[in-house]
Amino acid sequence: VASAPDAVPEPAQISPALLHRSLHQQPYKVTSAKGLYLTLSDGRVVMDACGGAAVACLGHGNEEVLAAVTAQMSTGVSYLHSLTYTTDVAEDLAHHIIDGPHGAGRYGLERAYFVNSGSEAMDAALKLARQYFFEKGEPRRTRFVSRKQSYHGTTVGAMNVSSNLPRKVPYANFQSENFSWVTPAYAYQYSNWEAGETEAEFAERLVEELDLHIRTLGPGSVIAFIAEPLVGATSGCTPAPKGYFRGVRDVCDKHGVLLILDEVMCGMGRTGTLFAFEQEDIVPDIMTMGKGLGGGYSPVAGVLVHKKIVDVLRKGTSSFNHGHTYQAHPVGCAATLAVQRILRREGLVENVARLGRWLYPFLLETFGSAKYVGDIRGRGLFWGIEFVGDKVTRAPFPPAVGFGVRYQATCFELGVAVYPGSGTVDGKKGDHAILSPPYNVSEVELRRIVEVMKKAYD
Ligand code: PLP
């Protein structure tokens, strides 16, 4: 079990030849990993309680996934261009996700499209949605509506629908009037709780806001509304209030607007059902998936497309006007199929739901009365703790305090990696930490993780 060294060594220096994400911060160098544990180049062992960014759903170094990758490589078919060729492994993966009693096909989501990152999946989703209306003879639909304080990725399309303001500052030239944002379903910070607004009233207000927003933009001008069923990185595992997504679906249907759900972070079992939308009593027209899809064993993400869109594209003048060199990469598909088969065979999604029911009361018991813990929320194995400077007013710490980043660093020093969130977006966001361990984590390990997190807080 991870333990805190007496003196914390400096993180390893990285080669100046590598353009790392941060030019100011030294990352930690990892030399090996197994299950929940990462070994750093300085010999320390850290419990990976967040799987990077909710990615490593099986933990690290799974032998069965390694064997599947090796087997695919040994056929000699490690790369084929997806325009000309297909492979059994890509088709088997699509069948695994679409067909059968667990499949997305039950909801009319009948095709899977595999790409290499969540951002690419989002761009593909936006283009599919636009092409749907283009083929239908409604080219005047040009607008996308999403939510404030959202993150949908880093490529230009995904960035444009995101409202992660600090990250977008240098790229204002990419923006256009075709992108706009409504209030997020983030009750802790955006509901009128001081005035006694209930969650149901909050949900109703947001649905009315969306309806008005679409009417103001002009019915017939909006392509799609985009949302994460349970918001991950930008607000710390925030589920929507009950009834919100039902209302959103009805508004979209009323205006003929498509509903795109971004399940890149919260999907593929993370919240205790294979698809997060299954807990919302709705079905999206397009859904994106990533992270837990391949569990980090391959850079893979995907898009699930509803029959109604497939039918229009099939009758249309062209095929889907999109594609990547490494789309449906055979080795990536082999790793992904192995991950998904293990999840199903070992009942790991059910395990997520079971552990989530145990974890929530334990988090409440451990952190509930802590002075700076404003909210604890999530589902399954996807939990956020929001830290605020003032619990009475819910006011976040001033950004200069850097509470989230400092908290993450302290957890790390004590041997637990959590995913951080900090900084203020639209003046509303408290710092938070995300706990998203692998689906096969044990109760003992989870208990230890939460105890270390509390020690770091103290
Ligand atoms: N959508 C959501 C909800 C995400 O959390 C992320 C990444 O954090 C993305 C999209 C983009 O995925 P990727 O980083 O794989 O491009």
The list of the chain residues with pLDDT below 50 reads 1-8, 423-424
Cα(265) to ligand 1 centroid in Å equals 6
The protein residue with its alpha carbon nearest to ligand 1, atom 5, reads 265
Q: Pocket of ligand 1, candidates 126, 226, 265, 382: which has the most ligand atoms within 8 Å of its Cβ, to mutate?
A: 265
C-alpha–C-alpha distance, residues 370 and 365, integer Å: 10
Residues 171 and 120 in one domain: yes
- Closest residue by Cα to residue 439 from 369, 361, 370, 340: 340
* Per-residue pLDDT, 14: 72
Cα(117) to ligand 1 centroid in Å equals 7
Residues 76 and 210 in one domain: yes
Residue 114 lies in a domain: yes
C-beta 159 within 6 A of ligand 1: no
C-beta 117 within 6 A of ligand 1: yes
Residue 274 lies in a domain: yes
Contact 300, 273 (CB under 8 A): no
Residues 262 and 304 in one domain: yes
Domain boundary among 345, 378, 404: 345
φ/ψ of residue 402, rounded to 5: 60, 40
Cα(388) to ligand 1 centroid in Å equals 25
Residues 325 and 379 in one domain: no
Residue 12 lies in a domain: no
C-beta 122 within 6 A of ligand 1: yes
Cα(152) to ligand 1 centroid in Å equals 5
Residue 120 lies in a domain: yes
Q: How far is the CA of 429 from the CAs of 188, 391, 444, in angstroms?
A: 10, 13, 32
Residue 215 lies in a domain: yes
Residues 370 and 268 in one domain: no
Cα(30) to ligand 1 centroid in Å equals 22
Residues 78 and 172 in one domain: yes
DSSP state of 276: G
Residue 195 lies in a domain: yes
From start to end of 19-76, where are the E strands?
30-34, 37-40, 45-48
Residues 176 and 261 in one domain: yes
Cα(104) to ligand 1 centroid in Å equals 21
Residue 446 lies in a domain: yes
Q: Pocket of ligand 1, candidates 151, 289, 336: which has the most ligand atoms within 8 Å of its Cβ, to mutate?
A: 151
First-to-last alpha carbon distance for the chain, in angstroms, is 20
Domain boundary among 345, 365, 381: 345
Domain boundary among 345, 365, 386: 345
Cβ neighbours, 10 Å, residue 287: 28
Contact 345, 62 (CB under 8 A): no
* Per-residue pLDDT, 400: 82
C-beta 270 within 6 A of ligand 1: no
Residues 298 and 360 in one domain: no
C-beta 118 within 6 A of ligand 1: yes
Global ipTM: 0.99
Kindly report the CATH number assigned to the domain that includes residue 447: 3.90.1150.10
C-beta 230 within 6 A of ligand 1: no
Kindly report the CATH number assigned to the domain that includes residue 298: 3.40.640.10
Residues 191 and 254 in one domain: yes
| Beta-carbon contacts of residue 199 (< 8 Å; ≥ 6 apart) | 187, 191, 241, 242
* Per-residue pLDDT, 17: 81
C-beta 152 within 6 A of ligand 1: yes
C-beta 153 within 6 A of ligand 1: yes
C-beta 72 within 6 A of ligand 1: no
Q: By residue range, what is the domain housing residue 167?
A: 68-345
C-beta 231 within 6 A of ligand 1: no
Residues 111 and 74 in one domain: yes
Residues 450 and 310 in one domain: no
- Domains identified in the chain, total number: 2
* Per-residue pLDDT, 1: 33
Residues 395 and 360 in one domain: yes
Residue 20 lies in a domain: no
φ/ψ of residue 224, rounded to 5: -155, 155
Cα(413) to ligand 1 centroid in Å equals 27
Tokens 């270390």 identify what position? 452
C-alpha–C-alpha distance, residues 54 and 434, integer Å: 9
